[in-house]
Structure 1
Amino acid sequence: MNPPASPPAAPPRGVSAQLDRFVHDRLPPPEQWPDLHYNRPELQFPPQLNLVEELLDKAPAKGFGQRPLLRSSRVTFSYEEVAERVNRIAQWLTEDMGLVSGNRVLLRGGNSVGMALCWLAVVKAGMVAVATMPLLRARELGDIIDKAQPALALCDATLLAELKYAQQEHPALRTIQKFNAADDPADLGALCAGKSGVFAPCPTAADDIALMAFTSGTTGKPKAAIHTHRDVLAACECWPRHVLCATPDDIVMGSPPLAFTFGLGGMLIFPMWAGASVYYPDIAYTPEAMVRLIGEVGATICYTAPTFYRQMAPFAKAVGIPSLRLCVSAGEGLPDATRTLWREATGIEMIDGIGATEMFHIFISSAGAEVRHGAIGKVVPGYTAKVVNDVGVEVPRGTVGKLAVIGPTGCKYLGDERQTRYVKDGWNYPGDAFVQDADGYFFYQARDDDMIITAGYNVGGPEVEDALLRHPAVAECAVIGVTDDARGMIVKAFCVLKPGFSGDETMVKTLQDHVKATIAPFKYPRQIEFRDTLPRTETGKLQRFKLRTP
């Protein structure tokens, strides 16, 4: 890896258009910020920048105006039709509700045309989008309300109950407006129907705030990561440009929610950047339903998590999905067994990637012929990454260490003491243990706190999980380290078995022997516990910290 070039001078600051300074006033002090590098031609942006204006309003000039953007089983809206509807919502927010730039707007909904329109309208009007996962309950929503202090909530009609419960305990949220309530005169669409559809984008500065993204809670209490208009557009110029390489003819489908930055990028922002379209389902995805819909819709790009690809594989092999050309896996480590299973079922080599809510999206990835067995990939152009020791010194290639990343996006938590844990000396520390090889490929080992040191050996939980998943009886698994008097720690596995297999002592021995025969024997799980399900976030990430808690 070449050392990072000296960062160019900071881009000129624009004039902030956000009248409500709530978020700006709660950003970390400048000395705790990550260094932001804009050292490529495509990463040069003007000081005044509104990302929705760039991606949506300028679409006709790029030749995308009449092309489809948002699809469902009921409607297909072109870029120009989306722009008109977004403008109407923005008019309602400012004219009828009296909201001003910088106000936070809580968004609650699954992936739908209505949810996408609301998100775009909020950001175009210079407000801060605070999207929330559909499965969150009142207590969790209350924590977000307390932290974000939203002026208004836009909520899918099917998800109102929990938000209203939260509002009772957190009256800072004064107004809730429902959307996706067909034929209801109180629906947002009905309220906006009489608007002209003409709305000038808020003249935001590039470093004005576009969104507040709450982390998915794999390690405990979620944090609020802040991203600017420049952050989001800079992300578009990195992984989508250099690795994904989508085209205007692509139709995107996937499972990650728009409230999760993996979903926001993959299922809305990046398709818009490429002039492509995205399909939102009317049903909850199951592995079989997604495979069949990909075929019916003619989708060409799919985003989901490794577990879902594994569950989709038998249906994909049986039904066939000839339109599909790109498959993106992120959200958690991709076991090589899952990559192989999917390739054998579809002929498609998955694009793996690691990103972070704090960084907005993917910063290490490889596609096609660049894929290397067992590796996530190389650092994405625009970013620099290294593997370091506990004091931030880069370790020799082939040595396990902590991942440190720097680029055009970085961590900025809203009023959170954990900022100094994530950003050190300008570098972002996502909390992952990696090995980098001589060719620059990065191999994921574990979360920093998931590395198991047993009898002096380092064991990465994902490597053991991959070995277990290669056994035909194992549907899902998670591996952690547990304390042990003799070895310091031992490897423990939690396994969900496929139907027809019994979780008994014979199966324990079978799986232990299988791991010993697959990887170095000292890595085998000395304890195996069988479960019906594993704890996961709504985005599909394993919550290993819950397995460590009795």
Structure 2
Amino acid sequence: MLGPSAHQDTFTRDNLPDEALWPELLLAGFDYPEQLNAGWELTDGMVAKGFGDHTALIGNGRRRTYKELTDWTNRLAHVLVEDLGVKPGNRVLIRSANNPAMVACWLAATKAGAVVVNTMPMLRAVELTKYVQTAEISHAICDTRLLEEMEACAAECDGLQVIGFDGTANHDAELDRLALEKPVMFETVATSADDVALIGFTSGSTGQPKGTMHFHRDLMIIADGYAREVLDVQPSDVFVGSPPLAFTFGLGGLAIFPLRFGAAATLLEQATPPNMIEIIETYKATVCFTAPTAYRAMLAAMEEGADLSSLRAAVSAGETLPAPVYDAWMEKTGKPMLDGIGATELLHIFLSNRFDDHRPACTGKPVTGYEAKVIGPDGATLPRGEVGRLAVRGPTGCRYLRGDRQADYVRDGWNITGDAFWQDEDGYFHFAARNDDMIISSGYNIAGPEVEAALLGHEAVAECAVIGVADEARGEIVQAHVVLAEGFAGDAALAEALQTHVKAAIAPYKYPRSVVFTKALPKTETGKIQRFRLKENT
């Protein structure tokens, strides 16, 4: 049963799916008071615990302490409530690249009791309009450098209020100027632990983003579960990474996790994969969050003598980590690489490797509080070693806005993630493919990522993506889209060499019968390869 809501605008509570369609929530060990506000917990609450003088945010040429972050977010919250009329439960969209100001705006809106929708700077007006209309968003807070598309969106959305903030070091925009006149004390809205705090839209790897609704307690659970158990976050940690804060992988790894434990979050707009090595060296980073494709780019950019001595964890998620990337990272750095899998629907990582237990081509075991199994089409648990659908349940779970396709994702109390996995005799989970990426050729089930991993073992391959394409004789054939490393030419001889290489690395029937050389692969901003776009063009 849901607790009493502090929301005056009841849109999110009204548009939760029927509780009978929710996954079973395993909340044992995650005890929070009935009233809980995640924004307060990560700011004022940290000052109350004695972290006021610790560095909270690094970016734009300065370091901000937890006391400074608390004062900043309280001033902003006053503006939202007093000048913009934000009511508890209103949806507030934030449009920005990764920078300290975006985090401050998110925390301020959360403290004011709003439901935040974080969005990426690359989105255009037509995409923003879909979000605004779907979530019935009333307010938008936008970096002034990105106002053009936001204002174009507002022209199509009656009643949407837009205010600009300065995402650079200058703090010279309307929101910032209004905040200067506000007090540093703010009475945080006493939201319920199960009031919706965040709507995360799926990244669109399947082409159709959906809104997922997360409670205030969920934001705490991912820190008190995964970040505490797997990462053992300490106040001395410095977090860096490239995933956008607009996605829950980035929001957790680059904001919630460090702020929950008194650590520092480094938020740099220039934190692109090729720059990450220098950033780790400069800021003595201890934890890095990014996707496998980014680690591959980091390895390519790594110069002899790179100093990664400060780094204690390289977290990989967003898509499967190919064994060649893991092996190359371990060989070149000696630093632990912790592969994990999460989902926007469950907010963050629920299967992971550990510091004392990590290996290539393995996603590890469930994070504390979660259970996982591999099931067949009828929902029955499959024997160890057989590939099937991954089913997960735990303290967080899928709640689609308006219940959109809820019954497709949640069955018999379990979240069915859309991933094909197998579990070995020792209980470790191994990724096979997205369910949509299983290729059936002449009756054989072929997992595209396995072929990709084999291709990545060839020196000529910088990146690749494997899809199934229609074939009259075989039903489907394996087609590889390959981005070549520098110095290689994409000709028939190299295509044949790659095919031979795959035949020698894995079962020969899995080799790509078609090889397409390309300059780049389509990706989401989180680095996920959009294989559906390759399929659309075949």
Common topology (TM > 0.5): yes
Q: State TM-score, norm by structure 2.
A: 0.97
* Structure 1 position 183, deviation (Å): 5.1
SS in 2 for 1:106: strand
Match of 1:97 in 2: 84
Quick one: which amino acid aligns to residue 472 of structure 1? E
Cα distance in 2, alignment partners of residues 366 and 207 from structure 1:
30
Q: Deviations over 1:490-510 (max 9, x none)?
A: 111100111221111111101
Q: Deviations over 1:64-110 (max 9, x none)?
A: 22100001142211111101110001111111112110001100001
* Structure 1 position 471, deviation (Å): 0.7
Decide which of 17, 20, 23 is 1:28's aligned counterpart.
Answer: 17
1:423–1:429 Cα contact (<8 Å) kept: yes
Matches within 5 A, 1:402-413: 402-413=389-400
Quick one: which amino acid aligns to residue 8 of structure 2? L
SS in 1 for 2:197: strand
1:380 equivalent in alignment to 2:363:
no
Cα distance in 1, alignment partners of residues 75 and 289 from structure 2:
30
Decide which of 198, 204, 208 is 1:221's aligned counterpart.
Answer: 208
Cα distance in 2, alignment partners of residues 184 and 117 from structure 1:
12
Quick one: which amino acid aligns to residue 145 of structure 1? V
Quick one: which amino acid aligns to residue 437 of structure 2? D
Decide which of 301, 305, 324 is 2:287's aligned counterpart.
Answer: 301
SS in 1 for 2:271: coil
1:314–1:345 Cα contact (<8 Å) kept: no
Q: Deviations over 1:318-365 (max 9, x none)?
A: 223221111000111100100111111211120100000000000000
1:108–1:131 Cα contact (<8 Å) kept: yes
Matches within 5 A, 1:276-295: 276-281=263-268, 283-295=269-281
Q: Deviations over 1:203-223 (max 9, x none)?
A: 111110100111100001210
1:317–1:346 Cα contact (<8 Å) kept: no
SS in 2 for 1:430: strand
Match of 2:508 in 1: 521
* Structure 1 position 316, deviation (Å): 3.1
1:490–1:526 Cα contact (<8 Å) kept: yes
1:414 equivalent in alignment to 2:376:
no
SS in 1 for 2:94: strand
Decide which of 381, 386, 407 is 1:399's aligned counterpart.
Answer: 386
* Structure 1 position 522, deviation (Å): 1.0
Match of 2:435 in 1: 448
Matches within 5 A, 1:343-492: 343-492=330-479
Larger displacement relative to structure 2 (45-54 or 327-336): 45-54
Larger displacement relative to structure 2 (493-502 or 262-271): 493-502
- Which portions of structure 1, spanning 4 or more consecutive aligned residues, are displaced by more than 6 angstroms? none
* Structure 1 position 185, deviation (Å): 5.3
* Structure 1 position 176, deviation (Å): 3.2
1:105–1:127 Cα contact (<8 Å) kept: yes
Cα distance in 2, alignment partners of residues 206 and 286 from structure 1:
35
1:181–1:187 Cα contact (<8 Å) kept: no
Cα distance in 2, alignment partners of residues 528 and 37 from structure 1:
46
Larger displacement relative to structure 2 (188-197 or 111-120): 188-197
SS in 2 for 1:443: strand
Matches within 5 A, 1:224-235: 224-235=211-222
Cα distance in 1, alignment partners of residues 366 and 149 from structure 2:
41
Quick one: which amino acid aligns to residue 311 of structure 2? L
2:15–2:402 Cα contact (<8 Å) kept: yes
Q: State TM-score, norm by structure 1.
A: 0.95
1:149–1:173 Cα contact (<8 Å) kept: no
Match of 2:103 in 1: 116
Matches within 5 A, 1:1-150: 13-40=2-29, 43-150=30-137
1:313 equivalent in alignment to 2:313:
no
SS in 2 for 1:14: coil
* Structure 1 position 182, deviation (Å): 5.8
Cα distance in 1, alignment partners of residues 428 and 421 from structure 2:
10
* Structure 1 position 39, deviation (Å): 2.1
SS in 2 for 1:490: strand
| Count of paired positions | 536
Quick one: which amino acid aligns to residue 25 of structure 1? D
1:174 equivalent in alignment to 2:161:
yes
Quick one: which amino acid aligns to residue 135 of structure 2? A
Q: Deviations over 1:470-513 (max 9, x none)?
A: 11111110001122222222111100111221111111101000
Quick one: which amino acid aligns to residue 184 of structure 2? G
Cα distance in 1, alignment partners of residues 370 and 211 from structure 2:
22
SS in 2 for 1:77: strand
% same residue: 49
Cα distance in 2, alignment partners of residues 521 and 79 from structure 1:
57
* Structure 1 position 465, deviation (Å): 0.5
Larger displacement relative to structure 2 (286-295 or 322-331): 286-295
Gaps of 5+ in 2: none
1:339–1:349 Cα contact (<8 Å) kept: no
1:240 equivalent in alignment to 2:230:
no
Q: Deviations over 1:124-173 (max 9, x none)?
A: 11100110011111111111111122221111111111111222222342
SS in 2 for 1:368: coil
Cα distance change of structure 1 residues 417 and 287 upon mapping to structure 2, 3 Å threshold: closer
Indicate the RMSD between aligned Cα atoms, in angstroms: 1.4
Cα distance change of structure 1 residues 443 and 72 upon mapping to structure 2, 3 Å threshold: same
Q: Deviations over 1:446-482 (max 9, x none)?
A: 0011111222222111111011111111111000112
Match of 2:519 in 1: 532
* Structure 1 position 430, deviation (Å): 1.0
SS in 2 for 1:429: strand
Gaps of 5+ in 1: 1-9
Match of 1:6 in 2: none
